[in-house]
Structure formats: structure tokens, C-alpha cells
Amino acid sequence: MIIRDMTLLRRLVAGGAAAAIACAAAFPVAAAAAPAEDANDYALFLEEKYDIAFGASTQKGDFLEAMQETLELDAKTVKIAFEDVTSDSSWFEAAAALYGAGIMTSTTVQPESTLTAPGAVYLAVKASGLKELAYSYKADKANAALSKAGLTPSAYSPQAAKELAAAIDAGLLPEAYYKEVAEGGAASNALLATLLGKTLAFNDRYKHYLGSSSDADIYVKLQDAYRTSDLIQAPELQEVVDTALKQDLLTGYNLKDSRYDPNFVDSLSLTYGHDNLQHAVQLIGLLRSEGIDALVQFEPKTSAFIYLKEWGEPTESDSYQVVQIENGNYIAYAKEYDLSFEFETAADKARFQDIVLAYAKKNSDDAAGLIASSWWQPLYYSFTELEGYDLITNNKIEGSGPYYAQSFSLNAASEAIVDGFEALDPDVEVETYTFWVDPPFFRYLNGESM
């Protein structure tokens, strides 16, 4: 059964694994340990990203369909005749896609059967790309891993024992679910959400982050990320957006790399832009001082804008370069970054604005009590509505690789920007969408100085 109601989902997932993980959280962890994602985190991710949720008893076919959707597996070129599922069955496409990917190995699907805990693990091992690792196990190594986890080796076939052992050792199967697998009954909704979430992580389809703001080593990771980032160069894209700058279609744009996309849960996350590393370090310290913990992702960004010739001769560096244009002005390219945060609660996300306005927004030349390099018009935004934020538009074009260019605008100005892009390059595809931005930046777009 697939559940589409989030209130019911949270009640179902709240037990079991959550208690074990909460207990484990009471003990200190190593500084380099990644933030622990639990069943609730995986369930919320699956619900928001894919509208997928598992009930107290899930049919095998539902789990197969969820795997096919999240892993984007195609059944078009797969030729298979199942013993119990015909090609006109609603289950066929998912089963064929998983069979073609080597996740299913039997020609018997049994889609309407209740999925067992061990059966879910066997599917997840193959879907996570751990099959070769599993089959590298000798019998004694597999048996040792199972015995240590409280599972009886003789209860499983040699292949099943190896798959379970690999799932345990690789971290695909958390300790909180050893007993459930040992009992062999129906897979719980928490186990299924965890297995599918971890499967996405093994396939680089889950969240991406440096760590948590509470990690002892988060500052080292942040500094390393900033130090190793460079000005982004994407000539194909820049030809279009630089021309748009010259023609005053834009006041500026950003270049970003989609490989750093955090893929966070939108309802709990927002993105903050700046150019100064010390500011980023102090911002994380500020969040910690306010009792806020959040996942942190660093996203390299290059900002481009017109540098007027009357401002004087520009000084170039590794993080700031200019190109002179026909009218004597310059296009300046500055190394910046976005920090994306996924907060533990929606309340913490809502508190972020009050914290920034109090400690990271400049209101006068002699402002005191602010973190380093605070801006007059800080920039932070959310993809879900927040009280006190304003709605604007992103005008985005993608190149042939991982890079994309984007320019934020007032909603009323978006149509002219899109028309301008298309006039410059009829083949360009422009994506537009609205999102919510902080009031100071909204005032900046309206031509106000503060």
C-alpha cells in the first residue's frame, strides 16, 4: 500500500527505527561522522520528491514501482516473459525495468505478495550496485557478518547470506533493522523507506552536503570547498548571457554547476549567497550559537555584472576577472558561493530570517554587532512559501554540460528576459519558475539601496 497523506506517514514512521537512532544520538560521535539520516528523513525525502510513501504492509509490486521511478529505469529495450505477469499488466513495466537492470533475477514476480524484510534487502543490494561486493564474500566471512548481527547463517541460502552480509557491512542495512530481518516477516514502512533512501544514496540520487553545522570539522570542510573552487567558465552559455548584459537585458547573472545541487527537501531548506569565506564560517557559527543545526552544502558560483569604466581600472585576481566590451565598460566575473541549508524543523527554517536581519544585514556604514562582511542586501531564498518573503522569478538556461546560467528578476520583468534570450539564440531553452526571496534583495530588484 502506498500512502499519500503526510500526517499518517509521520505517525507510521515515528516508531521502531526512530527510537533506536535517538538512543544512539545520545552518545558522542567522531568529528568526521556524517549526519545520521533516519527513516523519517528518508520518508520525507521520498514523499516530497516522488510522492512515495509506504504503508504498514506493502505489496512487492509497489516497492518495485518505487524503485523504477526513483532510479529512472527504462523497460523499453528489455525482452522478458514473466511466469505470472503479462505484458499488459500494470506491474509489468516496473518488473521488466528491474529485471533488465539485474535487480530482479527471477521470472516469477509475485507483485501482489507482501514484501518481506529479507526480500526487500535482496532487492536493495542489487539496486545499490553492491552485487559484486556481495558475491566476493566467502562463506565464512558472510556467516561471521550475519552472526555478529544476530542472524542465523543456516537460515539463508549461500547467495542470500552473502547479500545480507554485504548489506550489513556496507551500511545499507542499519542495525536498527537486524531483528526485523531475522524475524523474516513483512517489511515495515520504516525499513522500506530506509532501504530505498540508502539505495538512492548509493546511486548518487540522494542529498549532497559537506556535513552538519554542528560537526566539529565543518569549518575545515567549508574552507577546503571554498579554496578548491574556481571561477566557472562555460563559453557556450556565456556567449548568450554576456550579450544580454551588453544589451541591458540583464543587470547580472550567475553561473553554477548542477553537480553541486544539494537535492535537499524543499520544505526544510533554503539557499544563502555570498562571496566572502570568513562570512560563511561566521554564519555557521552564528547558527550554532542560536541552537540551530542544519545540513550544509557548498555550491560554487560565479557572478557576472557590468563594471563601469568610470569606476577606474579594475584589479584582477584568481577570484575576480574582467573582459572589456565595445563601449569601454567591462564584464566582471567574481567568485562567489551559495550555502544551502536543510534545517531539522520548519520552525528553524522560519527563524533564519530573523537571525540574518539581526546579525548579518548592514543598515548603516558604522553598523556594529554584525558578522564579518555583512551585506546591505543579503540574498537568501526558499523554494517553498515563507511568511515575510517576496515572490520573484528565476530565468535559467542550461548548457550541454553540468553548467547553467541564471538571472533573478521581478516577475513582471521575466517575459522580456525570456524573449531577449530567445532573440539572441532561437535554440536556447529558457526555464522560468518563481520562488521566495528575502525582503532586502527584493527591494534591491526594485532599485532600492537598502
> Positive or negative CA dihedral for 408, 413, 418, 423?
negative
Tell me what pLDDT residue 81 has: 95
C-alpha cell at 387: 511568511
Tell me what pLDDT residue 339 has: 98
- Beta carbons of 187 and 12 less than 8 angstroms apart: no
**pLDDT grade, residue 30 (50/70/90)?**
very low
Tell me what pLDDT residue 56 has: 82
Q: Is the pLDDT of residue 4 over 90?
A: no
Least confident range from 7-11, 68-72, 295-299, 431-435: namely 7-11
pLDDT (tens digit, 9 = 90+) per residue, 191-206?
Answer: 999 999 999 999 999 9
> What backbone phi and psi angles, to 5 degrees, belong to 248?
65, 25
Tell me what pLDDT residue 399 has: 86
Q: Taking residues 227-250, what's their average pLDDT?
A: 96
Q: Is the pLDDT of residue 242 over 70?
A: yes
Q: Is the pLDDT of residue 269 over 90?
A: yes
**CA distance linking residue 395 with residue 405, whole number of Å:** 8
Kind and range of the H or E run holding 145: helix 139-148
Q: Taking residues 58-70, what's their average pLDDT?
A: 97
The DSSP secondary-structure symbol of 176 reads G
* Cα 6 from chain centre: 20
Q: Taking residues 331-342, what's their average pLDDT?
A: 98
Who's near 368: CB < 8 A, 6+ residues apart? none
The DSSP secondary-structure symbol of 184 reads T
Who's near 415: CB < 8 A, 6+ residues apart? none
**CA distance linking residue 25 with residue 29, whole number of Å:** 8
Strand partners, 408: 394
- CA 206-276-264 angle, to 5 degrees, is 15
Tell me what pLDDT residue 29 has: 34
Q: What is the pTM of this model?
A: 0.90
How many Cβ atoms are within 10 Å of 56's Cβ, its own excluded? 10
> What backbone phi and psi angles, to 5 degrees, belong to 215?
-65, 140
**CA distance linking residue 227 with residue 224, whole number of Å:** 5
> Positive or negative CA dihedral for 349, 351, 353, 358?
negative
3-state secondary structure of 397: strand
pLDDT (tens digit, 9 = 90+) per residue, 353-407?
Answer: 999 999 999 999 999 999 999 999 999 999 999 999 999 999 999 988 999 999 9
Q: Is the pLDDT of residue 33 over 80?
A: no
Q: Taking residues 186-195, what's their average pLDDT?
A: 97
Which amino acid is it at 100? G
C-alpha cell at 44: 520525507
| More confidently predicted of 24 and 65 | 65
Tell me what pLDDT residue 35 has: 57
**CA distance linking residue 246 with residue 227, whole number of Å:** 31
Tell me what pLDDT residue 449 has: 79
Q: Answer left, alpha or beta for residue 274, where phi above 0 means left and psi between -120 and 50 means alpha.
A: beta
> What backbone phi and psi angles, to 5 degrees, belong to 381?
-150, 160
3-state secondary structure of 426: coil
Who's near 366: CB < 8 A, 6+ residues apart? none
Percent of the chain surpassing pLDDT 70: 92
> What backbone phi and psi angles, to 5 degrees, belong to 216?
-65, -30
State the chain's mean pLDDT as an integer: 92
**pLDDT grade, residue 28 (50/70/90)?**
very low
Q: Taking residues 166-179, what's their average pLDDT?
A: 98
Q: Taking residues 142-153, what's their average pLDDT?
A: 98
Tell me what pLDDT residue 400 has: 84
Least confident range from 20-29, 149-158, 371-380: namely 20-29
**pLDDT grade, residue 183 (50/70/90)?**
very high
Strand 294-307 versus strand 330-343 pairing type = antiparallel
- CA 332-437-440 angle, to 5 degrees, is 70
**CA distance linking residue 368 with residue 3, whole number of Å:** 51
Long-range contacts of 357-362 (CB under 8 A, 24+ apart): 359/286, 360/279, 360/283, 360/286, 361/440
Strand partners, 375: 361
